[in-house]
Amino acid sequence: MNMKKQKIAWDVDDSLIIPAMVAETPVDVPNYENIAIYNWFKAQGYYMIIWSGGGKSYAEMWGEKLGLKADEYRDKSDLQPADPEIAIAFDDCDVDLAKVNIKVGRLKNSISRSEWNKHK
């Protein structure tokens, strides 16, 4: 029996990484709690996607830096409307990009990301 792998998608900023100004460090840092959840799904054999509003190459750069070995990288802006093949999407924003959309906790939400978002 050949079952198709379900697709699980993760956003980069404020989901897989914590922005430098939030972490109070000179560089962006991994969000180890969310990466542990990512790795659990990967270990179960799910098809993993990493995406970003910063573009496909930005998503790929962070996937590689974090050692996540995604099956696919995407530009999140290409995903409107929701992709019916994606079972679960993890994001720090309210999104409708998959069958099930999970909003991950955003650290220190009172800190503006507007300047930081310009670096992508």
Give residue 73's identity as a one-letter amino acid code.
Y
Q: Each residue of 18-55: pLDDT tens digit?
A: 887 777 778 888 999 999 999 999 999 999 999 998 89
- The parent domain of residue 16 ranges over 10-37+53-70+97-113
Confidence of residue 115 (pLDDT cuts 50, 70, 90): low
Nearest in space to 102 (alpha carbons), one of 8, 5, 1, 19: 8
| Long-range contacts (CB closer than 8 Å, 24 or more residues apart) made by 94-99 | 97/9, 98/7, 98/9
Predicted structure pTM score: 0.85
Q: Is 5 within the bounds of a domain?
A: no
For residue 117, name the pLDDT band (cuts at 50, 70, 90): low
CA distance 98 to 95: 8
Report the SS3 class of residue 41: helix
What is the domain count for the chain? 1
16: in domain: yes
Q: Is residue 88 part of a domain?
A: no
